[in-house]
Amino acid sequence: MIADCKVAHASSVWHAMRAFAFFACGLASCAPASAQFMTSLKPTTAAAFESYARNVEARLSGRWHGKQSLLAIDNNPSAMQRVIKGEILVEPASSNNPVDLPDGLAHDWIGDVFIPHATIESVFAVLKDFDHHAGLYKDVTRSRLLRSDGDHVVGSWRIERKTEVVPVVFDIVDDTHYERVAPRKWICRAYAKNVIQVDHADQSDERALPVGEGFGFLWRLYAYWAFEETDGGVLVECRSLSLSRSVPRGLGWMVGPYIRKQPQDSLLSTLRSTREASGKRLAASVH
């Protein structure tokens, strides 16, 4: 019996390893079979995400226009104290996160960080400085400011995300709109709609896929920022919405954890890097 169990276990491990190798090879475009793992963003999926984003913005508009506290964390004093003391909080913004859409998933997260001794201007100096985002933010390997017109700033990133399956590279254009809503209070709406997957990045055969084509790990990335300056620093809150494919049937054990967890990790990393970069700028200005 024990021997039979060992044989069965060894067989299951071998089949799992074989499946993983086949899938990884396919994702890396090592074989024609990779086509079966590619997917396309359907118009119904994009429309459902846009509808979800509009509903989120409609709810946020009450905070933006003074009908409620600007920051959602104001409703949770204990969480606010944790953030003031240095903790970065990232939590689901929807009770059923990720949200099922037709042939896709909407990932909805909210995070808060406190940047001590900072001003809104010093935080914006980091966020608007696309030319230096590479090196400041994890996974950003290239970055460039494309246009700056006062409170309307557009920049580009090349992002490499190393998954347990295969690295995925995206070229992203981020369109940001800053708005002062009250003294010492600002918001920012950021929209990345043209997310392009890049195959064989930085190689002689590099190829940018059409928008909406690829593995479907990231199709849209929207962020709704709120900034409140206090006497001790700046409270920063970010509501992050992203759109991905649904978990492929039969492969949830492999890619499901990445698709579901990556948006949370990304927001946490963004808030942490923003605090660190703002701190370094403040230190440099003192000297």
Higher-confidence position of 42 and 14: 42
Confidence of residue 192 (pLDDT cuts 50, 70, 90): very high
Calculate mean pLDDT across residues 23-51. Answer: 71
The SS3 call for residue 176 is strand
Is the model's pLDDT at 135 over the cut of 70?
yes
The percentage of residues in the chain with a pLDDT greater than 70, rounded to a whole number, is: 81
pLDDT beyond 70 at 29: no
- 174 within 8 A of 191, measured Cβ to Cβ: yes
pLDDT at 20: 40
> Is the pLDDT at 278 greater than 80, yes or no?
yes
Domain annotation for the chain: domains and CATH numbers: 1-37 (no CATH), 39-286 (3.30.530.20)
pLDDT score recorded for residue 161: 82
Helix (H, G, I), strand (E, B) or coil at 190: strand
* Statement: residue 14 has pLDDT above 70: no
Task: Name the most confidently modeled range: 10-14, 30-34, 114-118.
Answer: 114-118
- Asked whether 104 and 90 are in contact (CB, 8 A), the reply is no
Lowest mean pLDDT among 72-76, 194-198, 231-235, 251-255: 251-255
**Residue 209: Cβ within 10 Å count:** 16
Q: Rounded to 5 degrees, what angle do the CA atoms 23, 28, 32 make?
A: 75
Q: What is the dihedral of CA 53, 56, 58, 63, to 10 degrees?
A: -140
Q: Of 30-44, 143-157, 172-186, 223-237, which gets the smallest average pLDDT?
A: 30-44
Q: Which residue has the tokens 């970055």?
A: 143
pLDDT of residue 167: 76
Residues 6+ apart with CB under 8 A from 86: 114
Are 113 and 83 contacting, i.e. CB atoms less than 8 angstroms apart? yes
Q: What Cα–Cα distance (Å) separates residue 243 from each residue in 106, 171, 260, 276?
A: 5, 15, 11, 27
Lowest-confidence segment of 87-91, 165-169, 220-224 by average pLDDT: 165-169
